[in-house]
Amino acid sequence: MNSINLNTKMNLIPALAGYVAAALRKLRMVGINISSSLDVWMWMLGLTGIFNALHVLLSLATSLVILKATIRKIPSIACNIWLSQHLA
């Protein structure tokens, strides 16, 4: 296993060195080969982006289900909702 000196490029933000080191250990645990601290950052940003995209889709789906059920139960509140035409 290659040893990566994360402190050389992290001198400006020393608090992040521990976070990056922890992320490096986790990425290696799941079998992702990391060869530089840039790779750690790229994987962290990529995986965070994937999580955020999935989170947006699940949040929108959940809120649309709740909105649809609410409009069915109380149709009078749908008067001013522009989306009510598509949900009814």
Distances (CA, A) of 73 to 3, 76, 80: 61, 9, 16
CB 17 within 8 A of CB 35: no
If one counts the domains in the chain, the total is 1
Per the domain annotation, does 52 fall within a domain? Answer: yes
User: What predicted TM-score, i.e. pTM, was given to this entire model?
Assistant: 0.65
Per the domain annotation, does 8 fall within a domain? Answer: no
Report pLDDT for 77.
Answer: 75
Per the domain annotation, does 5 fall within a domain? Answer: no
Does the pLDDT value for residue 32 go beyond 80?
yes
Per the domain annotation, does 45 fall within a domain? Answer: yes
Angle at 64 between CA 62 and CA 69, to 5 degrees: 100
Does the pLDDT value for residue 47 go beyond 80?
yes
Q: Which region, left, alpha or beta, applies to residue 31 given φ > 0 means left and ψ of -120 to 50 means alpha? A: left
For residue 33, what are the domain limits?
A: 14-87
Per the domain annotation, does 71 fall within a domain? Answer: yes
